[in-house]
Structure formats: C-alpha cells, structure tokens
Amino acid sequence: MGERVGIVGVPPLAVIAELNRRGDVIVDLDEPQVAAPMDQTATRIPRVYCAILRTVVLNCLHLRLDRVYIDVGPGKCDGALHVAEVLADMLKVPVIPTRNQDDLPFGTPLCTARMPLMDKFSRITHSVQSAAAHASLPVCTPVCGFWGVPPRDFSLLAPFPDATHVFGWTRCMENKTPADLDLERQFDPNIPTVFFAQSFCAKSALAQHLAAKHPRALAIDCDVTPGSSTRAKIEAFLELAGIEPARRSAA
C-alpha cells in the first residue's frame, strides 16, 4: 500500500516519477485540503504572510501524512525555504527539501487551450502530481491573458473567458520547469492581461514590473480570498477591454 505524501511547490520530476512508481497518494499541500480557519496557523507562521504557505501549514496541522516534499529552490521561493524549517519542527514525519532545477520542457497545452479558467488551473496544478507526458490540445486564439501563480482561491478566475491564455509561473508549472525565469517573464502584449500575485509574495515585484511594460495590463494581488474590489477590478478590466466577464459560480 502506497504512502500519503504531501508536496509543496513542484518537486523535481525524478521525485514525482518515484512516487508514481510506488503508487503513493500525492497530496498537494499548496491547495486548500481542509475546512479549518486559517488563523489556526498563527502560532506557527505570521498572519501577514503568503496565503499559499499559510495553507500549507494549515493542511499539515490536520492531515495524516507519511512524508512531505517541499521545493525550496529557485522554482519556489524563500518563503518555502523557511516554512520547510517550520514543518520540520512541527511534523513527526520526514520533511524533505528539494531544489527543482529541471529544464526538460514538457510543453504547455493547457495554458493555451480553450476551457474555463478554473478548470484549466485545476488541471495544471493536478498535472504536477504525474510524470506522464501531457496530452496535446488545440491552441485557441486568446482574447485575454492571465499571468501569475495559481491563486489561493480559484474563484478569482471565474470572470475570465474560456479563451484566456495563461502565463507566468503557472506556465512554468505545466512545463515542469518551475525555475525557468525566461518562461516566467513571457507575456503577450497583444492581449489585455491581468498580472496576479499573492499578497506578500516576492513575485508581486515581477508582476508589477511586467504589468508596467504591458500596454493593456491590470496588476492585482490578493491574500486568502479576493475582496469585492479585486473582483470588481477584474470585471471592469475585462468589460472595458470589450470582453463580457463570465458570470459563473466559483464552485
């Protein structure tokens, strides 16, 4: 019987391949896995901190895991490097830091496909758990772009049209090259683009910098959940770019 293994960030392909071979159950600790108040993490990690990493700690407080792999290299962030210390002291199971510098491109078919953006992000983040090659998908003509990391709360993605191309670290994730800064800083200047970073994330500097270079950009950040002004900014940006915001629920 396989183990339950938590992962943070994108561990190296060799690690994922080994987990797949052993039949382990992979739990993505970057995503909300438990329905518990975030404030339960306050004694372990500051409240004013990346909501993704706070989610990692919250998950670890509640889930039964046999091991945790946490990527702490240039493909993740210094925050993860320090949270790895917290987890190592907090958990009774091995917490194994990795430094993913894989440079074999797997391609980014999901990032350029036509599908609801929330589904797209779910499939991209889920693809991290497999070492298998991606299925090919037709490239759609984009009407707008989303640059950034997968948000803590995917409901942020609800207003975007299906023909949204994804850029930034999410594209690096799908490509399985999370430390590829050249890929991360790519964007399409011909489509209106939202540049997103989690509040208190180091990538917010890159988001703001690239948004300033883009001719039609909106830079946003959000902490645990998007507030009404963040949602309104996205809706107005899309509307004023001639794109009818989708009114789908955030289920």
Question: How many residues make up the chain in this entry?
Answer: 251
Closest CB to another protein among 119 and 235? 235
CB of 247 to another protein, least distance (A): 12
Helix axes 78-90, 51-62, angle to 10 degrees: 20
Residue closer to another protein by CB (options 117, 218) is: 218
Kind plus residue range of the DSSP H or E element containing 27: strand 25-28
The whole-angstrom separation of Cα 125 and Cα 133 is 14
Q: Looking at this protein, which amino acid is placed at residue 183?
A: L
The tally of CA atoms less than 13 A away on the side-chain side of residue 164 is 29
Query: C-beta of 229: minimal distance to another protein in Å?
Result: 4
For another protein, the closer CB: 163 or 241: 241
Provide the minimum distance between the beta carbon of 7 and another protein in the complex, in angstroms, as a whole number.
Answer: 32
Binding residues for another protein, rule: CB under 8 A, are 211, 215-218, 227-229, 232-233, 235-237, 239-241
Output the smallest distance, CB 215 to another protein, in A. 6
Q: Which of 120/152 has CB closer to another protein?
A: 152
Using CA atoms, how far apart are residues 18 and 78, in angstroms rounded to an integer?
A: 26
Residue 150 CA to residue 125 CA, distance in Å, equals 8
